[in-house]
Amino acid sequence: MDKRAQLEQWTTLVADTGDLDKIADLQPEDATTNPSLLLAAAREPRYQHLLEQARTLCADLGHAGELDWLTDTYACLAGQAILERIPGLVSTEVDARLSFDSRATVEKARRLIAIYRELEVDPSRILIKIAATWEGIRAAEVLEEEGTRCNLTLVFSPSQALAAAEAGATLISPFVGRIADWHRKNGQQWEAAQDDPGVQSVRHIYQCFKARGLETIVMGASFRNTGQIEALAGCDRLTISPALLGELAADSGTLTRVLDSETIEPESDWQPVCEATFRWQLNDNAMATELLSDGIRRFAADQQALETLLMKEA
């Protein structure tokens, strides 16, 4: 078997792209979107029909000319199109500009789910994607209690991961590549993939979750090379770009399972993460603080660019 097939024995693979043709070709279990991927798709002439459908749906729902509704319907239509090509789940992201407003995040998520219902999409196949701020985690807690499953994204620290899991989040997305980039930029060097700071972060989170009996899915994200992916073989899920999925499929070498929950000893003596602890630990972690803020700014900028594009095309 090639390395992709070997990896699929232990790990659910998720396509990290908004390209419908590539998703159909790669045949992953799940797929994830974000404002950057949706913006890239919206700029493609072959996806203009989704923009037209979004305008029609907005009008049908009584919100013609309302830009926030247009972007939401476009995101849901893209999600619907992806779900027609995969058997599993798709993540749809809440506007990053709401990352510090729990109530607004909950309301936006409810709207996205309502639009999916209008499209006759099963809400159980949707993960609402939210930045892992304290406010975002609290919003996810409310949504999970309502039956809406959530993906807490932009995870760069154990405190973010644990707080999200303790709030009942269905899934978290720790960003391997961005963590590695930050450490390399700040002078750290390593040879083996197992010593990569991004890889080590996900391994630590996985270990903590399984030891504490936390059911939240760990999905490594933001990979720069296949070495990082192979060093996390056995992780619950991995979201991988089409290029790296292709590299794995072209490699017939032997892949070894690295992460296995069956080998982890249970841990019973641990304390939940409170707000004060969360904020202090995040503040005390320069890498996590910088990357969380940068990630929110980047997604917000792409959301604004998407709005500008949709407004221009209207």
Catalytic residues, by residue number, are: 129
CA 167 to chain centre: 17
Q: Which of 288, 270, 144, 266 is nearest to 217 (CA)?
A: 144
SS3 for 88? coil
What angle do the packed helices 286-313 and 176-185 form, to 10 degrees? 120
CB 16 within 8 A of CB 10: no
Structure tokens at 183: 């450490």
CA distances from 217 to 162, 177, 232 (A): 11, 19, 14
Task: Return the CA Rg of the chain.
Answer: 19
Q: Cα–Cα distance between 33 and 25 in angstroms, integer?
A: 17
Structure tokens at 76: 């849901």
CA 300 to chain centre: 15
Q: Cα–Cα distance between 14 and 19 in angstroms, integer?
A: 13
SS3 for 145? helix
List the beta bridge partners of residue 90.
Answer: 31, 126
